Amino acid sequence: MRTTLRPRTRFGALTAVTAVTALVLTACGGGEPADAGPSAGPTGALPLKGEKIEVAAVWTGPEQENFSKVLKEFEKRTGATVTFVPAQDPIVNFLGTKIAGGSPPDVAMLPQVGAIRQAAAQKWIKPVGPEVRKALEANYARGWRELGAVDGTQYGVYFKAANKSLVWYNTAAFDNAGATEPKTWKEFLSTAETISASGVTPVSVGGADGWTLTDWFENVYLSQAGPEKYDQLAKHEIKWTDPSVAAALKTLAELFGRPELLAGGTSGALQTEYPASVTQTFTGGDRPKGAMVFEGDFAAVNIAQTEAKIGTDAKVFPFPAVEPGAAPVVTAGDAAVALKDTKGAQALLAFLASPDAARIWAAEGGFLSPNKNLDPAAYPNDVQREIAKALIGAGDDFRFDMSDQMPQSFGGTPGKGEWKALQDFLKNPRDVAGAQARLEAEAAKAYRATAPQS
């Protein structure tokens, strides 16, 4: 069990941060709109005027644009100047370079639990202050708070979450084939065959991005092996050569081993990047390149780049249960952490923990907040509202993306580790034993490299 430790910050600095944060967040209470503006003191002064804050994240395109709107609101309320710093993936390597050069950003958005642990072990990140903890306790379920803590010390604020147990589908293609939403893996394969018989390839897979394949594996594994095994594998307490892994890979092979069910076949899937896997599902009317695409709620951002309308042309169903009654709920998320112990960094973290900050991006779509006090009305359509309600309704009963809990060299690096091993498996799904051996060899190497030195 984790216990909250007092942050390693001097009392005077805490007092200053508390005062600033109280001013920033005053407009966050009482149901005021997100653009209520900064809450200045009696003199009208902005609490962080003149403060410069750098925020690093790997987001690009619409995600970067929408996050920038959140940062603009923070600037408006505080008078601070916030600069977005584009980071390369894996972001831990990017931050290491910045720190070595003596120019770390003030705040970074870390997309993996493993990255938070690694950054904490390197002493790169600072514990949150009391106002941030207060906001977290008021707005977040225990499970989300614990994901941002390491050995009892709170470092992260999960701002952007994801429900990664969803399958989006082209309603015209489904209607044309006479297909219905499947609830089980067996029904999913049957639905794929029905759609294939109508002349449309059923499943679009973004295999050029290895992280999508880890999501396929995790949903199958959680449903088939169960939460206890999932937690054990996530911590490498059981090996990737375990029979439970073989069973999950064999289940995946029931789809991956049938190239006629994959958009572009095996080679096409391996050459398709994630954004294209979504957009090609929702272009071409009832004759798209693929009728279904598996991925999280954030696929809405890519769907918005097509003419398809969510809720009519594009609908969603939960990832099918491999075992009866065992529909998986796999989540992910991006956590804000402070790399500098400044009042600006702490105030920004406190703002990101508020419903007001979440409301800004939620209105733009392609975003899911773990903040339980965000009004579902903030989301732009019923589909996203239902996805958000399901995430909040799960409370602590969810499992975080397994690859994001692992050392980044294994679970979060393009062309290496789990990503590469599963791409090789997609290429040759008959070689289950070979895939397991490669996964275990890479995992063992990564865990040895990150083990504490005695």
Residue 427 to residue 256: CA distance in whole angstroms: 8
Of 6-20, 264-278, 414-428, 440-454, the range with the lowest mean pLDDT is 6-20
pLDDT single digits (tens) 92-143: 999 999 999 999 999 999 988 889 999 999 999 999 999 999 999 999 999 9
Among 26-35, 54-63, 216-225, 252-261, which is the least confidently predicted range? Answer: 26-35
Query: Could you give all domains of the chain from N- to C-terminal order, each with its CATH number?
Result: 11-163+331-399 (3.40.190.10), 166-329+413-450 (3.40.190.10)
Q: CB of 35 within 8 A of CB of 359?
A: no
Q: Which pLDDT value is given to residue 62?
A: 87
User: Is 17's pLDDT higher than 60?
Assistant: no
Q: Does the pLDDT at position 417 exceed 90?
A: yes
Q: What is the pLDDT of residue 390?
A: 84
DSSP 281: T
- Predicted confidence (pLDDT) at residue 34 exceeds the cutoff of 70: no
Q: Which residues contact 134 (CB under 8 A, 6 or more apart)?
A: none
- Of the listed ranges 55-59, 172-176, 324-328, the least confidently predicted one is 324-328
Mean pLDDT check: name the lowest of 23-27, 260-264, 369-373, 413-417. Answer: 23-27
Residue 51, pLDDT > 60, answer: yes
| 319, 219 contact by CB (below 8 A) | yes
Which amino acid is located at 239 in the chain? Answer: K
Instruction: Write the burial class of residue 360 (CB in 10 Å: 0-12 exposed, 13-18 middle, 19+ buried).
Output: buried
The predicted pLDDT at position 45 comes to 67
Least confident of 64-73, 149-158, 363-372, 387-396: 387-396
Residues in contact with 103: Cβ distance below 8 Å, sequence separation at least 6, in sequence order: none
Question: What's the mean pLDDT in 310-321?
Answer: 95
Beta strands in 217-329 (DSSP E): 292-294, 314-318
> From the CB of residue 311, how many other CB atoms can be counted at a distance below 10 Å?
15
pLDDT, position 18: 45
pLDDT of residue 87 exceeding 80, the answer is yes
More confident residue, 217 or 61: 217
pLDDT higher than 50, residue 3: no
Task: Record the pTM.
Answer: 0.77
What is the average pLDDT score of the chain? 90
> What is the C-alpha R_g of the chain?
22
The whole-number pLDDT of residue 454 equals 53
Going from the C-alpha of 66 to that of each of 240, 353, 386, 413, the distances in angstroms are 38, 17, 21, 25
Q: Residue 302 — very low, low, confident or very high, per pLDDT cuts 50/70/90? A: very high
Residues in the chain: 454
Does the pLDDT value for residue 30 go beyond 50?
no
* % of the chain beyond a pLDDT of 90: 79
Phi/psi of residue 400, each to 5°?
A: -80, 150
> Cα separations (Å) of 271 from 24, 426, 444?
46, 12, 28
Q: Hey, is 398 helix, strand or coil?
A: coil
The per-residue pLDDT for 315 is 96
